[in-house]
Structure 1
Amino acid sequence: MLFTVFLVLTCAHVVFLEEYVIPDNIDIDDILSNERLLKNYVNCLLDKGRCTPEGKKLKSTIPEALSTDCAKCNEKVKANVRKVLHHLIDNKPDMWKQLEAKYDPSGEYRSKYKDELEKNGIHV
């Protein structure tokens, strides 16, 4: 679950090949600073709103990424994961809690990734 939010935004326009790739024209900071865009992606993931094709791909990618420790994530994606997690946990706790409830209802991924995230300054 903890990587769920990373997938919310960092892979908002994912191309699914051997690894999850973020196209060069995607500006994560722009998405995080745009309430409307952020809300649309989160609503898509929560089945509360329409999904773009990218949003649909994102939703289908989340379970695999969580269960495989994001094995197909490149370094750029991993760096953006940390950025997105920081933003949502610090600035959008309601969105974070909803995503966590949907994608990690048992707390399995929270426990699994806790040490790694805290090592990167993210306290969940």
Structure 2
Amino acid sequence: MKCLILTVLVVVTVAFAADEKYTTKYDNVDLKQILSNKRLLKGYVFCLLEKGPCSPDGTELKRVLPDAIATDCAKCSDKQKNGSKTVLRHLIDNEPEYWKELEAKYDEKGQYKSRYEAELKSDKKE
């Protein structure tokens, strides 16, 4: 009986962990406004690089970013996945210095770079 209860607890725990998603609390942040405003963008970048203070949404982003990168955004909502593509594309195309610094911090070995660059290229073709 104890074994059965333990098995059920493990299955329930795994099921809940598998359904875990990042909070959607900040999904309505206006990314276009942030990306078009150098001051706002710098604030977020400096937050992620630990060079400046973080807003509540910046703190949440900094907390989940390593996991999101490592898991190919498996816990992201569709809106978060689309938003991350928008931000990546903007940083790569328009803010190469910020991109290099963020890449050095969050992808030191370059293991995720090729995956995201290939994905962004395929998105441009569509």
The TM-score range, normalised by the shorter chain, is 0.7 to 0.9
Question: Over the residues paired in the alignment, what is the CA RMSD in angstroms?
Answer: 2.0
Instruction: State the match for 1:115 in structure 2.
Output: 118
1:32–1:87 CA contact under 8 A, matched in 2: yes
In structure 2, the partner of 1:6 is none
Task: Please tell me whether Structure 1 or Structure 2 has the larger radius of gyration of its CA atoms.
Answer: 2
Compute the TM-score of the two structures, normalised by the length of structure 1: 0.75
- The change in CA–CA distance for 1:91 and 1:61 in structure 2 (over 3 A counts) is same
Query: Residues 22 and 117 from structure 1, CA distance in 2 versus in 1: closer, same or farther, beyond 3 angstroms?
Result: farther
The structure, 1 or 2, with the larger RCO (C-alpha pairs under 8 Å, 6+ apart) is 1
Matches within 5 A, 1:90-105: 90-105=93-108
Give, in angstroms, the shift of residue 61 of structure 1: 0.4
Q: How many aligned residue pairs are there?
A: 106
| Counterpart Cα distance in 1 of 2:106 and 2:98 | 12
Letter in 2 for 1:110: K
Q: Is the 8 A contact 2:27 2:79 kept in 1?
A: no
Alpha-carbon offset, residue 18 of structure 1:
2.5
Identity %: 52
TM-score, scaled relative to structure 2 = 0.74
SS of residue in 2 equivalent to 1:73: coil
- What pairs with 1:1-124 in structure 2 (closer than 5 Å)? 18-21=21-24, 23=26, 25-121=28-124
Contact 1:22–1:77 (CA under 8 A) maintained in structure 2 = no
Q: Specify every segment of 5 or more residues in structure 1 that has no aligned partner in the other structure, as ranges.
A: 1-16
Give the secondary-structure state (helix, strand or coil) at the position aligned to 1:120.
helix
Paired with 1:110 and 1:87, the residues of 2 have a C-alpha distance of: 15
